[in-house]
Amino acid sequence: MEEKMTENKGSAGELAGKVALVTGAGRGIGRGIAGKLAAQGAVVLINYNGSQQRAREAAEEIIKAGGSAECIGCDVSDFTACGEMVDNIIKKYGHVDILVNNAGVTRDNLIMRMSEEDYDRVLDINLKGAFNTIRHLSRQFLKQRSGKIVNISSVSGVLGNAGQANYSASKAGLIGLTKSVARELASRGICVNAVAPGFIDTEMTQALPEKAREAGVAAVPMGRMGSVEDIAELVAFLAGGRSDYITGQVICVDGGMAI
Ligand code: NAP
């Protein structure tokens, strides 16, 4: 694991004094979530894998706005590296209060053409990645008798989606992981929830062919794509004290796609 320090300062807000780890936060939805949690006062640990420069920029943006952020490079699909990342965070901060499992990838194809490698990679990052961070952080959360875990699933995991058998399986798996871990940790005051975004405007959806984007929008009753901000708002709510009696839930933020 590579660790890149930027800067830490104090900040006021609903999440003041909280330490939040957001995976895949150098860009896209994760970056939006990191910014929102930092704006509410949390010290945000921006995990990245390939986007080191953008993670640095995300941290700088937060610090410029008066918040606190640090970048941590780690491939979330690597169990041992996740353990080292978590150990280093606990050593440095003494506690972790919020974990957002946002890192995710697509390798779309029809099932009859999907390679074993594409299936495995998507499951390794999207599902095992969340297992890895939760597994390593759960001991700390249990010791603290507090903690908020938010897993970023997808409406594809709720409804299924042609051409995304690997991705949908990983996101549906995340829902099972969320509900099981929520049951295990509830008695210690730890909340575990899933957010299922619909069709959100990021590089993931910008990479789709125009026809697929049009079809995506057509499947949204509200008739438009969602924004990173739409997701970050809910994640911030689930990460804070106003949601202390909500656990094991899957909340779609999708303009009505999953109705
Ligand atoms: P994105 O723009 O493609 O960003 C993906 C993020 O995942 C990047 O920050 C990337 O970091 C990170 N990541 C990928 N592999 C990683 C690994 N092995 N270790 C650590 N980080 C890794 O996608 P997005 O739209 O923001 O998606 C964010 C999450 O929302 C994903 O879980 C996605 O499945 C979910 N989601 C998105 C939509 C949508 O419409 N956009 C809908 C439903 C659900 P690096 O660049 O540093 O590797």
Rg (CA), the chain: 17
- Of the candidates 85, 123, 119, which has an alpha carbon nearest to the alpha carbon of residue 104? 123
- Of the candidates 59, 49, 46, 52, which has an alpha carbon nearest to the alpha carbon of residue 19? 46
Ligand 1 geometric centre to CA of 187 (Å): 31
CA distances (Å), origin 157, targets 96, 153, 194, 197, 258 = 28, 7, 11, 10, 10
Give pTM, 2 decimals.
0.97
Nearest-5° angle of CA 126, CA 132, CA 133?
Answer: 95
**DSSP-derived pairing of the beta strands 43-48 and 68-73:** parallel
Instruction: Give me the average pLDDT of each 10-residue run along the chain (259 residues).
Output: 45 90 98 98 98 98 98 98 98 98 98 98 99 98 98 98 98 99 98 99 96 96 98 98 98 98
pLDDT at 12 (0 to 100): 73
pLDDT at 2 (0 to 100): 45
User: Would 144 be classed as within a structural domain?
Assistant: yes
Ligand 1 geometric centre to CA of 28 (Å): 7
Write out the residue range of the structural domain in which residue 18 sits.
Answer: 3-7+14-199+229-253
Q: Distance from first CA to last CA of the chain, Å, rounded?
A: 41
Domain count, the chain: 1
| 38-48 burial code (b ≥16 CB/10 A, e <16) | bbbbbbbbbbb
User: Would 90 be classed as within a structural domain?
Assistant: yes
User: Would 26 be classed as within a structural domain?
Assistant: yes
For the Cβ of 154 lying below 6 angstroms from any atom of ligand 1, the answer is yes
User: Would 63 be classed as within a structural domain?
Assistant: yes
Ligand 1 geometric centre to CA of 212 (Å): 19
Active-site positions read: 167
Amino acid identity for residue 45 in this structure: L
pLDDT at 106 (0 to 100): 98
Question: Residue 211: enclosing H or E segment and its boundaries?
Answer: helix 210-218
User: Would 218 be classed as within a structural domain?
Assistant: no
pLDDT at 11 (0 to 100): 52
- Per the structure block, which two tokens stand in for 15? 């999440």
User: Would 120 be classed as within a structural domain?
Assistant: yes
What's the CATH number where 20 sits? 3.40.50.720
User: Would 167 be classed as within a structural domain?
Assistant: yes
